[in-house]
Amino acid sequence: MTSVTPSDLAALDATAQADLVRSGEVSPLEMVEAAIGRAERVNSELNAIIHERFDRARSEAVAVDPQIGAFPGVPMVLKDLDGASAGEPLHLGTRFLRDRGYVATANSELNVRFSKAGMVVIGRTNTPELGLVTSTEPAAYGPTRNPWDTTRSTGGSSGGSAAAVAAGIVAVGHAGDGGGSIRIPASECGLVGLKPSRGRVTLGPEMGEAWGGLVARLAVTRSVRDAAGLLDAVHGPGVGDPYWACPPVRAYRSEVGADPGSLRIGWVAQPPDGSFVTDPQVAQATRSTADLLLELGHQVTEDHPVGLASADTTGHFLVAFGAWVARELDRMAELAGEPVPEDGVEPGTWFLAEGGRGVSAAQYLAAVEGLHRASRSLVGWWNDHDLLLTPTIAELPPTLGQFASTAEEPLTGLFRSSPLATFTAPFNITGQPAISLPLHLSSEGLPIGVQLVAAPGREDVLIRVASQLESAQPWFGRRPGVWAG
């Protein structure tokens, strides 16, 4: 390493780190060693990385060609819920797979694409059990703590990845989103969280779809250009995928800084069903973002899809959700070669699975059909609009300890998670692209994210406006209290 210090590297996004490697100023091994040092410095305080792969990362870094791939030598982390690596732990946040020492037998295609981009994984990150709640506090591994305030949640289910990126250990954290699990951690940890369109990024070869098509995967980052560059590197269907998103007209990285024109943008700050009230600071952050978009030349009105308030959609989701959880337990049993016992998972997981086993095939299909009807109603709003602005979550990052289920109260985690996913989950149902941006801080110094949602397949519009907001109200220089650099 020349004049660039490890502290300097922590402050860079992945694009800048890759530029240093490509220019020869920093070697891939030096880049990875610096990230390992940062992890060793702060991970004990955060509990973000639960499976270290430091030695393997060093070996892989030596083999990286600095001139090949979009992000040569750039260190990253993988979430323990997916992104399988052959011969390495994959526990899905559960005691069942942890106690049996399960290791994956194949690589996920997304992980292969990260590797082809030149990235080097230094560890696997904490996640709530099966990604079922919106806080990363699994019984199997304990809570991940927020670098901005270690008494607070990092969100879920990509909370371990978000903590690692927010603290400066790495610039990129692999993430997945079935109801907000990229965007919620991004909001709570002050990051960019882009959920791609359904079918944009393959889930293969393990799955054609997850949770009936609700799950999308990518990453949490600290800059919009990193999110765009990662999407360029990994998008596209895998062999035999059931969904294919329309390919982009040009590279997503080209959309960063591109003029979006004057767009029709609606916004909402309060939950349309009136079930609770948005925190005043979060509501104000949403309003001020709407004002900023107006100043930037967009046509901004207080308007939103009527279908956001539908109680029927929630009912359909809960029926399908139980069936999905039951299938997750069956899949774990197939991986381990033995049934999952009741004490192998948390009480809430077992309760949901037992309910799911009582759902008939006809009831499940009716629920999915109901979600599809809701999608048509919601997406129709974009016939007359380009973007929707909402809070990402309607409150400040919650304190840890509110999400644990017990045998007496097995649904505590689900009930506590529901309001946090109010503004995110509808767009998993529709499969639309959405992004959380860390535009604001509360009076306590906690991150507040706002969400933009585009029409299906229009990540290009999201990236243009997100980069416009990033330039108008920069966040990159902010540092949390726990900072690895």
Other Cβ atoms less than 10 A from the Cβ of 252: the count is 24
Instruction: For the chain, state the CA radius of gyration.
Output: 21
CA angle centred on 179, ends 470 and 394, rounded to 5°: 60
In this structure, what token pair is assigned to residue 356? 């799911």
Strands (E), 73-203: 75-79, 120-125, 172-177, 192-195
Contact 462, 435 (CB under 8 A): yes
**AA letter at 159:** G
Give the whole-angstrom CA distance, residue 481 versus residue 479.
Answer: 7
Q: Which residues pair with 219 in a beta bridge?
A: 174, 194
Task: Give the residue among 79, 27, 83 at the shortest CA–CA distance from 58.
Answer: 27
Give the whole-angstrom CA distance, residue 450 versus residue 407.
Answer: 36
Give the whole-angstrom CA distance, residue 43 versus residue 484.
Answer: 9
What is the set of active-site residues? 79, 157, 181
Count of positions (residues) in the chain: 485
Phi, psi of 121 (to 5 degrees): -85, 125
